[in-house]
Amino acid sequence: MMDQTQLSVEESAHNLEKHADVQLDITVEQLKKLVSPRAFTGETMLLNMGPQHPSTHGVLRLLLELDGETVVSCIPDIGFLHTGIEKTHEGKTYLKGLPLTDRTDYLAPMINNLAYCGAIEKLCEIDVPLRAQYLRVILAELTRMNSHLVWLGTHALDIGAMSVFLYCMRERELLLDVFESVSGARMMSSYFRPGGLWRDVPDVFFDLVRKVMDVFPGRIIEYERLLKENPIWRERTVGIGVIGKADAIAWGMTGPSLRGSGVNYDIRKAFPYSSYDHFDFSVPLGTKGDVYDRYRCRLDEFTQSLKIIKQALDRLPPGPVITDDRKFAPPPKHEIAYSMESLIHHFKLWTEGFRGPNADVYFAVESGKGEYGVYIHGDGGPKPRRVPFRAPSLCNLQALPQMSDGALIADLVGIIGSVDIVLGEVDR
Amino acid sequence: MAESTSLAAALGDAVTNTVVFRDEVTLLTTRERLVEVLTHLRDVERFEMLTDETCVDFHPGEPRFALVYQLTSLERAMRVRVKIMLSGADRVAPTVMGVYRNANWLERELYDLFGITFEGHPDLRRIMMPADYQGHPLLKEVPVTVEEVAFSFNRRRIDDTKIYAGE
């Protein structure tokens, strides 16, 4: 018994020695500044929420300082899902980096693909055929609906309306069927390519999209009936987590979280891409910037998305879906059989990849969460020098401490839900 | 482009160079005058949002780092990029939190991943990597993969180097 204790003391001394050379960049003094002095006298309580908490939508950890049930300070701790996507990009050719973008915001893969492909197209000056642009718009809007459905379901679930979640997941199947029909994958689709699309859409795609168009208007009314005038829902959301116009802009918030505060900023309108300026749609705005307004903005976006999809379907032009510039897009398979030049192009593209200039561009799209931007810095070779992503979730989450200041801990759950974060995108 | 020249002209000698590439305006400035330039762009030119702040590593080139500030004007629907260059030996930049408060986490991320120190930042600690992590993973000298591929002939040797070795 004695020996064992001694051993463990020795062991721990050894461990201490081993860790003595590990230098932490932070000191306790630095961490003490994060909470109010009342926390050290025991007047307020420090509570750890997450990272394994169902309402933090992934692995977000919040250190909460509570005075009774009131939040005094909220310190988000992120990085649990950091997978080094930006670093991995530096070791891959432009094309091979594409599937990684699916995995940042895994609820909106096609929109991420669009941002990444758009940035490469801007960097290398690749023209995208009109048919591909329209199909991209249709798929991006379906993806936005997919993202919003998951948000609505989980947000309502957090606040206690469980049936909404089940309905949302039911409708999401229809959208996943569309993605499966074009790419073969339901979530990580990687369907867009620099210069267009991987292939043209199959015939069944149109049937599936029409089914979505038929089913959804009624379902949106159903969601509204469930929550919009629901007294419990209004009690839990109206006037909660308020953030004003100026604050929302200063925190760099974008997307429905910003528009809920009444700021009319939508990338599709401000900096149109992929022919969004060909379509007629409006941008839903809130007024007060509370949880309820953010909810209304997202819900109204369903209708606008359907409107855009309808216009794009009706006016979908025939033609190719990928650029015929052989330096960036591979030649059709049948050409390789008789054309030596095509064979060379194919070989060069799949072994070396195409080269990007030694310059930088920034390209942003409106994702379900906000401004999803890709900044690409090429180095003249086939691999980019650096590909940082502008993640909307990260910037929106940064405003959480201000929104939750003085809120009840039960409302904090609703506020996190209303910001609509995806931790895969926050941490990348 | 007209807008790039007018932006640069108003800032005078604070802008050392203006680059226009694919219709995107980049203003180059120095780290001493960075805060001044950003304050001017925010207050006078109404670029009210810091969309992104990021860093590019030009290793082994010198100056080694480019800090990139992507600004957006919501009213004018315009974007501009501000860049400063940092040498590899002196990785210090001023914080721009006083101008754009959302630079807080963005600068923490750059500190964590690139080891750039932001002077005046109130809460500069790691954000993505664990607190006891050594080094800065996005620097070019850090290889993309550090794991040796395990085969039957070297599996035991690789296992011995793992943190769970001997358990």
Per-residue pLDDT reduced to its tens digit, A75-91: 998 888 888 899 888 88
Which pLDDT band, with edges at 50, 70 and 90, does B110 fall under? very high
- The residue-averaged pLDDT of A175-187 equals 91
Written as six digits, the tokens of A12 are 């721990």
Residues 224-263 of A with CB under 8 A from B: 249-252, 263
Q: What is the pLDDT of residues A115-174, one digit of tens each?
A: 999 999 999 999 999 999 999 999 999 999 999 999 999 988 888 888 889 999 998 999
**The pLDDT of residue A217 is above 60:** yes
**The pLDDT of residue B1 is above 60:** no
**Higher pLDDT pick, A136 / A15:** A136
Residue A309: what pLDDT?
A: 93
A32 touches chain B (CB under 8 A): no
Residue A31: what pLDDT?
A: 79
**The pLDDT of residue A325 is above 80:** yes
- Return the amino acid letter for A81: L
- The residue-averaged pLDDT of B101-110 equals 91
Which pLDDT band, with edges at 50, 70 and 90, does A9 fall under? very low
Residue A363: what pLDDT?
A: 93
A26 touches chain B (CB under 8 A): yes
Interface probe with A: pick from B26, B79, B99, B127, most Cβ of A within 10 Å: B127
**The pLDDT of residue B33 is above 50:** yes
Interface probe with B: pick from A15, A19, A386, most Cβ of B within 10 Å: A386
Which chain A residues contact residue B137 at CB under 8 A? Answer: 84, 87
B132 touches chain A (CB under 8 A): yes
φ, ψ dihedrals at B82, nearest 5° = -115, 135
φ, ψ dihedrals at A337, nearest 5° = -65, -30
Q: Please state the domain extents for chain A.
A: 85-427
Q: Which residues on adjacent β-strands are paired with residue B80?
A: B71
**Higher pLDDT pick, A10 / B166:** B166
Q: How far apart, in Å, are the Cα atoms of B18 and each of B6, B28, B84? A: 11, 6, 12
Question: Cβ(A259)–Cβ(A283) under 8 Å?
Answer: yes
What is the percent of chain A where pLDDT is above 90?
33
Asked if A271 and B22 come within 8 Å (Cβ–Cβ), the reply is: no
Residue of B nearest to A247 (CA): B101
**The pLDDT of residue A232 is above 50:** yes
Asked if B48 and A88 come within 8 Å (Cβ–Cβ), the reply is: no
Q: How far apart, in Å, are the Cα atoms of B122 and each of A56, B105, B107, B110, B150? A: 26, 11, 11, 15, 44
**The pLDDT of residue B104 is above 60:** yes
**The pLDDT of residue B112 is above 70:** yes
Q: What is the pLDDT of residues A240-255, one digit of tens each?
A: 889 989 999 999 899 9
Residue with tokens 């995806």, as numbered in its chain:
A422
Q: Which range (A40-54, A106-120, B104-118) has the least confidence? A: A40-54
Question: Cβ(A300)–Cβ(A256) under 8 Å?
Answer: no
- The rounded mean pLDDT for chain B is 86
Cα(A14)–Cα(A17) distance, integer angstroms: 5
How would you classify the pairing of strands B65-73 and B78-86?
A: antiparallel
Which pLDDT band, with edges at 50, 70 and 90, does A13 fall under? very low
- Which among A391, A384, A399 is positioned nearest to A428, based on CA atoms? A391
Written as six digits, the tokens of B21 are 């590439």
CB contact burial A270-300 (16+ within 10 A = b; e otherwise): bbebbbbeebebebbbbebbbbbbbbbbbbb
Give the ipTM: 0.83
Residue of A nearest to B61 (CA): A379
Residues 14-33 of B with CB under 8 A from A: 21-22, 24, 26
Q: Give the architecture-level CATH label for domain A85-427.
A: Orthogonal Bundle (1.10)
Shortest alpha-carbon distance between residue A75 and chain B (Å)? 12
Which pLDDT band, with edges at 50, 70 and 90, does A210 fall under? very high
Q: Which range (A177-186, B12-21, B81-90) has the least confidence? A: B12-21
- A34-37 LR contacts (CB < 8 Å, sep 24+): A34/A63, A34/A73, A34/A75, A34/B123, A35/A63, A35/A65, A35/A72, A35/A73, A35/A75, A36/A65, A36/A72, A36/A73
- The residue-averaged pLDDT of A176-203 equals 90
**The pLDDT of residue A279 is above 70:** yes
Residues 30-59 of B with CB under 8 A from A: 48-52, 54-58
Q: Is B163 exposed, middle or buried (0-12, 13-18, 19+ CB in 10 A)?
A: exposed
Q: Which residues on adjacent β-strands are paired with residue A193?
A: A196
Residue B7: what pLDDT?
A: 76
**Higher pLDDT pick, B116 / B167:** B116
Residue A229: what pLDDT?
A: 82
**The pLDDT of residue B19 is above 80:** yes
Cα(A182)–Cα(A140) distance, integer angstroms: 13
Residue A206: what pLDDT?
A: 92
Residue B145: what pLDDT?
A: 66
Domains in chain B, CATH or no CATH each: 2-160 (3.30.460.80)
Asked if A251 and B101 come within 8 Å (Cβ–Cβ), the reply is: yes
Shortest alpha-carbon distance between residue B25 and chain A (Å)? 10
- Cis peptide bond prior to A51, omega within 30° of 0: yes
Cα(A188)–Cα(B117) distance, integer angstroms: 37
Cα(A214)–Cα(A306) distance, integer angstroms: 10
Q: What is the pLDDT of residues A358-413, one digit of tens each?
A: 999 999 999 989 999 999 999 888 889 999 999 999 989 999 999 888 889 888 88
How would you classify the pairing of strands A196-197 and B49-57?
A: unpaired
Residue A6: what pLDDT?
A: 42
**The pLDDT of residue A10 is above 70:** no
Cα(A56)–Cα(A49) distance, integer angstroms: 8
- The rounded mean pLDDT for chain A is 87
Q: What is the pTM of this model?
A: 0.88
Residue A120: what pLDDT?
A: 93
**Residue B144 is nearest to which of A30, A88, A252, comparing CB atoms?**
A88
Shortest alpha-carbon distance between residue A60 and chain B (Å)? 12
Residue A1: what pLDDT?
A: 38
Q: Which range (A30-39, A336-345, A363-372) has the least confidence? A: A30-39
What is the percent of chain B where pLDDT is above 90?
29
Residue B82: what pLDDT?
A: 92
Q: In sequence order, which ranges of A21-92 are alpha helices (DSSP H)? A: 28-32, 38-41, 85-90
Residue of A nearest to B68 (CA): A375
Residue A304: what pLDDT?
A: 92
Residue A17: what pLDDT?
A: 52
Which chain A residues contact residue B52 at CB under 8 A? Answer: 362, 373, 375, 388, 390
What is the percent of chain A where pLDDT is above 70?
94
Which pLDDT band, with edges at 50, 70 and 90, does A24 fall under? low
Asked if B52 and A78 come within 8 Å (Cβ–Cβ), the reply is: no
Residue A39: what pLDDT?
A: 80
Which pLDDT band, with edges at 50, 70 and 90, does A22 fall under? low
